[in-house]
Structure 1
Amino acid sequence: MAAQSFDTVVIGAGPGGYVAAIRAAQHGQKVAIVEREHLGGICLNWGCIPTKAMLRSAEVFHLMERAKDFGLKAENIGYDLDAVVKRSRGVAKQLTSGVGHLLKKNKVTVIMGSATIPAKGRVKVETDKGTEDLTAKNIILATGARARDLPGLEADGKRVWSYKHALQPPHMPKKLLVIGSGAIGIEFASFFNTLGADTTVVEVMDRVLPVEDAEISAFAQKAFEKQGMKILSKATVKQLDRSDAKVTAHIEAGGKVEKHDFDTVISAVGIVGNVEGLGLDALGVTVDRSHVVTDEYCRTGVDGLYAIGDIAGAPWLAHKASHEGVMVADLIAGQHAHPVKPESIPGCTYCHPQVASVGLTEAQAQEAGHKVKVGRFPFIGNGKAIALGESEGLIKTVFDAATGELLGAHMIGAEVTELIQGYVVGQKLETTEQDLFETVFPHPTLSEMMHESALDAYDRVIHM
């Protein structure tokens, strides 16, 4: 059978790949997308979306437990873990079917199977029905990443779980160990802890959520400990002894190794890029620690071959992948394309309380040679936060003292994952402190704290 010819072939239909395919189709290109498992990738099926659905259930449960605080009565409160999981899977399914509809609407050819690139401009796909050969002027790699397995800590789906097992838990953990306190680890720790699991988090770095501003990390740790979590930082899990009923973890901290028993362990120690089996070595693509090396326009150095999203390295975020997908599609179409700058990409963690940030931390700004002005405003000073019963939180802003440039913003508290976008837009528009001072924020809203935090950096704060 003759090879099918396309302008662009995208390998991987996650939030990077399917967005790139749609944007390329909008430019009038003939586009194919190859996916070996699920449309929507990890994000829609096993990541961002189903975890948020489960965390929402935990949040509602937490509010039900606090009914008395709001003058309400709720008795015999409980949960059905299977029903929580079922709802989460339903949300994921609804969105993945939506991706299929969008690809069809944009006339993108969807091919389910495993792809390799035997030569420049060629893609070979192994499908259920056999092999399909495709040719394309442009190929976009969007194969994503998977959970890192450390030797001896591998997930088995029984007592030791990866994020996939944690999303369809075979049992409710009573005593839970979470290895790793990045976004994935902390979100699962937060979920199961809220539902009553005795939760311990082990982090190799010196603090939880180590990519966040140190002040926000410290605030988060206090909040988690208040909720009953145990946090062990500068600690490593050396070994897991498994039996049918429990796992004994050998945890090293402060030069000593201690054994602790748990009935469940979740391993969340980072990710590795899906670079295997694509034929990248033979093409001359540079791969560094499981990630494809690219320039700022996601070009691999091989003519017509691009890499976007998790396979192209940190930050491993769906919105970064989507933006890179659009940028590459625009570039291929000969349009002016804006590189995605890492410092302009917001990060969000949906634990309780939520954490969100964009730009440089205070320490990073100082290391980069900036003299800084730092503003802070606590949730306890905000009328809407108190009315919501969510007075625990902080908004922190970092400005360049000389120019007034907003270098970074860091938040912890209710709904900060929605608030952060105000600062992201501000940064994109090259907002200065004066612009923020002169912006009218509506009252009563949580967003007023964003105003007050900027004012505080210049000793003009009103409500503190």
Structure 2
Amino acid sequence: MVVGDFANEVDVLVIGGGPGGYVAAIRAAQLGRKVTLVDKAELGGVCLNRGCIPSKAIISAAEHLTMIKDAKKMGVDVEGVSVDLSRLMEWKNGVVKKLTGGVSTLLKGNKVEVIKGEAYFSGKNSVKIATENASQTYEFKACIVATGSRPAELPFLKFDGERILSSTEALNLQEVPKRLLVIGGGYIGLELGTAYRKLGSEVTILEGADNILPGVDQAMVRMVSRNLKKLGVTVHTKAKVTSGKREGDEVIVTAEVGGEEKTFTADYVLVAVGRKPNTDELGLDQAGVELDERGFIKVDKQLRTSNPNIFAIGDVAGGALLAHKASYEGKVAAEVIAGQPSEVDYVAMPFVIFSDPEIAYTGLSEKEAKEQGYDPVVSRFAFQANGRALSMDKADGFIQVIADKETKQLLGVQIVGPEASSLIAEAVLAIEMGANAEDLSLTIHAHPTLPEALMEAAEGVLGHAIHMVNK
């Protein structure tokens, strides 16, 4: 320790102010701990500032534009529809500002000390925090690392922030690209590619795997693929990108597609090939914190690292890189620090993709259920038979319920269709509470609404669905 650098003592130090970090800080403060939160960027983290919220704002605007254009079939004629992207971005930034301001108010209301600076471990229970004007050592009783992740780069196609973009820059464009090339057909590339197509871009997606959205139930993916084709999005799967370069205001990318070399030219290229944990500049080795081979922090069921006084949550702890998972883990870590017997349980974790149509799922797939020793029964109800979906002109998709054949316990639910991101909440609650198909069947659902499809699918498990033929 430098002479004159007297350490500040704190009960709980939280590094990172994203949806995991700020939630952990607030929960720890609620439980009576003295909490300090440090973040080198903006409160709210990637999710609020450069991810979930701004992307969904742009997706919503693109969806509004599509609905206006499609309203003609309902007898609604609208002339002269256009997009002013700079005004769209201004509105999006306003949404972000409102939410980040709310986070700041909540932290202040819970008496959490907030420091803008960079943290670096200097020992097993100490951190050096460098601010704009000074450097100070903090000694903690417990620390929660919640530093998140960042977009992964391709070595031959480095981000330049102008034409070769990560998701961060793609959320701040001031013009609608004439030609947008998306490298990566996962949820980030798919969501933004679809949105910009609806705003007027020519969009091409290159995905190295056999299908877009690898790892997602292919029955749901087929619905999305079909709609991408209708929207005019060009998708190449089994496409291995081999090189790329910028020439003026164009980017030229070469890829091997199905064994054939092809060249793609675009005004902008969005590289969405995954994310890397922000663990490389924290000095974790100084604190005795172990990482796995990909750079994620190893944790147990209570999110404790190899250093028993340090916890890790959210993207840095690996697993699904989801904001709501980070928030959930933040509460668990804070409760463990306070002496409560909390631990993580991901059985009913919701996954949501804001594609067109939306995809959402929770619990087990049919394959996973079989692997875990269940004898699953599967029931699928199509939105084509749902009155509300038809009246919205959004009848593509289905809800699928997977239950144990003997006990009828709910094991998993998969949804592709209108408002799947909201509909999944009922399924998450049902699985979390250990409900069975009869519980959903006996729950009266308002008519005409989209959630009726979940009730119908559950009735199909029991063999007495009304609005579809029972198997």
* TM-score normalised by the chain length of structure 1: 0.97
- Residue 273 of structure 1 corresponds to 277
Match of 2:172 among 168, 174, 181: 168
Q: CA shift at 1:179, angstroms?
A: 1.2
What is the alpha-carbon distance in structure 2 between the residues aligned to residue 153 and residue 129 of structure 1? 36
Give the aligned residue type for 2:337.
Answer: I
Pairs aligned (count): 463
- Sort the Cα spacing of 1:197 and 1:246 in 2 relative to 1 into closer, same or farther, 3 A: same
Q: 1:452 aligns with which of 426, 435, 456?
A: 456
Q: Give the counterpart of 2:207 among 203, 207, 211.
A: 203
Q: Which residue of 2 aligns with 1:125?
A: 129
Aligned counterpart, 2:368? 364
Flag as ranges the 4+ runs of structure 1 deviating above 4 A.
Answer: none
Identity of aligned residues (%): 40
**Aligned residue in 2 for 1:374:** 378
Change (3 A) 1:294 1:338: closer
1:2-54 deviation digits (Å, cap 9, x = unpaired): 22111100000000000000000001111000000000000000011111111
1:459 and 1:178 map into 2 onto residues whose CA distance is 44
Report the equivalent of 1:417. 421
Q: Report the counterpart of residue 315 of structure 2 in structure 1.
A: 310
One-letter amino acid of the counterpart of residue 465, structure 2? V
2:330 match: 325
CA distance in 1, matches of 2:273, 2:59: 20
Kindly state the Cα deviation for residue 460 of structure 1 after the two structures are TM-superposed: 2.4
- Report if the CA contact (8 A) 1:212-1:357 is conserved: no
Query: What CA distance in whole angstroms lies between the structure 2 residues aligned with 1:282 and 1:106?
Result: 31
Q: Pairwise mapping of residues 235-254 of structure 1 onto structure 2 (< 5 A)? A: 235-254=239-258
RMSD, aligned CA: 1.3
Question: 1:113-134 CA deviation, whole Å, 9 max, x = no partner?
Answer: 0001111221110001110111
CA distance in 2, matches of 1:415, 1:150: 34
Residue 26 (str. 1) matches residue 30 (str. 2): yes
What is the CA-CA distance between 1:361 and the residue it aligns to?
Answer: 2.0
The answer to whether the 8 Å contact 2:223/2:396 transfers is no
Q: Distance in 2 between matches of 1:230 and 1:200?
A: 5
- Residue deviations 1:361-391 (CA, integer Å, cap 9, x gap): 2232233333221111111100011111211
AA in 1 matched with 2:47 = C
CA contact (8 A) 1:354 1:415 kept: yes
* Contact kept in structure 1, 2:16 and 2:37, CA below 8 Å: yes
CA distance 1:458–1:200, shift in 2 (3 Å): farther
For the residue of structure 2 that corresponds to 1:257, the secondary structure is: strand
User: Where does residue 304 of structure 2 map in the other structure?
Assistant: 299
Q: Are positions 1:350 and 2:369 aligned together?
A: no
Q: Secondary structure at the match of 1:292?
A: coil
Distance 1:171 1:387 in 2: 34
Aligned 8 A contact 1:124 1:131 in 2:
yes
Deviation at 1:340, TM superposition (A): 3.1
Partner of 1:66, secondary structure, is: helix
Q: Which of 164, 170, 195 lines up with 1:191 in the alignment? A: 195
Equivalent residues of 1:113, 1:127 under 8 A apart: yes
Which string of whole-angstrom CA distances, capped at 9 and with x for unpartnered residues, describes residues 134-183 of structure 1?
A: 11100000000000112112221222110111011143211211111222
Q: Which moved more, 1:410-419 or 1:366-375?
A: 366-375
Matches of 2:6 and 2:340 in 1, distance apart? 32
For 2:287 and 2:9, the matched residues in 1 are separated by 20
Give, in angstroms, the shift of residue 197 of structure 1: 1.1
Aligned to 1:55: 59
8 Å CA contact 1:320–1:340 kept in 2: the answer is no
- 1:4 and 2:11 correspond: no
Which residue of the partner structure matches residue 138 of structure 1?
142
Whether contact under 8 Å (2:122, 2:128) holds in the other structure is yes
| 1:340 and 2:345 matched | yes
Cα 1:338–1:298 change in 2 (3 A) is closer
Aligned to 1:87: 91
Tell me the distance in 2 between the aligned counterparts of 1:440 and 1:118: 58
- Please show how residues 91-102 of structure 1 align to structure 2 within 5 Å: 91-102=95-106
**Equivalents in 1 of 2:200, 2:241: separation in Å?**
23
Q: Specify the alignment match of 1:264 in structure 2.
A: 268
- Farther off after superposition, 124-133 or 202-211: 202-211
Distance across 2 between alignment mates of 1:228 and 1:277 = 43
Contact 1:355 1:413 in 2 (8 A): yes
